[in-house]
Amino acid sequence: MFSLQFKPKPKHHSSRCPAPLAPRVGFSLVEVIVALFITLMVVLAAYSIFQLALKTKPRLQNRAEIVQNMRAVFDRFSRELRQANAVVTTLPANEVLFEDGHGNLDNVPLQYLRYHLVDANLYREVSYYAFSTDPSKHVHYNDLDVNGNLPSATVTEDQLIGEYLTSLSFTLSNGDISITATFNLNPETLTLTAHVAPRNLN
């Protein structure tokens, strides 16, 4: 007698891999907070630099203006005092009157120069001395006429040559003239001292 045996079909395991997870979209809350914090720091740093530049610019401009004035003033001081034939003002003083020595070279009539302050402005005054009997003839400041009278001074020019000076002093030591000037243009203040050796002083 025959018996039929049926073998069960083997189970086939699926070869398909599980579906991959969908990629994450967007940022986490922590990442957003960190990004905002970094952005805020960058903006604050840029603003601080901008504010510092606004505050620094006027100071730099004022300093440049002072230095420019200082250079022009001391250049003229040095050039003209070096040629002085005689210093009339008794030093130390906050102004100086002296006989201009350039006339010896340029055939300029005898004249005198005076540097003096008016408020915070520096002026260069040009004058000459003459007797009333002959006003066109320039003479020395200490000359005397036949009656023993000193000559009179006539100012021909009083020119502004510097600004922002708060103090000015001239001193004489061993034949050298020392000049100290302080310049101020808020909030900048600069002080400079220069020494000039006149060539023609006796």
pTM of the prediction? 0.71
Task: Report percent pLDDT > 70 for the chain.
Answer: 84
Query: Listing from the earlier edge strand, what are the strands of the sheet with 188-196?
Result: 165-173, 176-185, 188-196
**Which pLDDT tens digit goes with each residue over 42-84?**
888 887 887 777 677 777 888 889 999 999 999 999 999 999 9
Predicted pLDDT of residue 183 = 96
pLDDT value for 159: 96
Q: What is the pLDDT of residue 10?
A: 58
Higher pLDDT, 29 or 22: 29
Mean pLDDT score of the chain: 85
The per-residue b/e assignment along 159-169, b for 16 or more CB within 10 angstroms, e otherwise, is eeebbbbeebb
Q: Which pLDDT score is estimated for 63? A: 87
Q: 33 pLDDT exceeds 80?
A: yes
Is the distance from CB of 183 to CB of 70 less than 8 angstroms? yes
CA-closest candidate to residue 158, choices 127, 128, 124, 129: 124
**Residue 91 pLDDT greater than 70, yes or no:** yes
Instruction: For residue range 131-186, list pLDDT tens digits in order.
Output: 999 999 999 999 999 999 999 999 999 999 999 999 999 999 888 999 999 999 98
Tokens 């997870």 appear where?
A: 21
Considering only residues 167 and 102, tell me which one the structure prediction assigns the higher pLDDT: 167
φ, ψ of residue 2 in degrees (nearest 5): -90, 145
Q: Tokens in use for 9?
A: 């079909």
- Tell me, what's the pLDDT at 197? 93
Residue 99 has a pLDDT of: 95
